[in-house]
Amino acid sequence: MRGYFDGDGNVMFKHYKRKGRTTLTPFFRVVFTSCSGEFLRRLLARLREMKVVKKGTVLKESKCNRLVLAPFDSLSLGRFMYNSDRCKATPFVLARKQRIFAAARTFYRENTERKPKGFLNV
């Protein structure tokens, strides 16, 4: 899973200012990209079956398909890929992507009013 994510996955965590607001709004999500929509649907079904994610959407774009996860499911996937005992045993990791998950997890822990819906001890 982590190998596929490192190659064809994307994690984004940033803050942006909304028009008319004084506080920054967090933006966090994970996206997998593939030419095969069927592959992404099966991947999503497997992640749901394993109870790693609850939702997720496969989008058809002009040249590819994307599996998009919202903040809670993105945090849950990060925990699965980087914090489970099975994954900790593997030394190969893209530290840059792992740091983005860690920054998002820290942000949501420290900002209880901005936790994604369904946030549970992530």
Residue-wise pLDDT for 20-43, tens only, equals: 888 877 888 999 999 999 999 999
Tell me the H-state helices in the chain: 2-8, 37-49, 71-83, 85-88, 95-110
Domains of the chain, start order: 2-107 (3.10.28.10)
Contact 102/65 with Cβ under 8 angstroms?
A: no
Residues 120, 52, 47: CA angle, nearest 5 degrees: 155
Residue pLDDT tens, the chain, 122 long? 778 888 888 998 888 888 888 887 788 899 999 999 999 999 999 999 999 999 999 999 989 999 999 988 999 998 888 876 666 556 677 778 888 888 888 888 877 565 555 544 44
Model confidence, pTM = 0.77
Predicted pLDDT at 120? 46
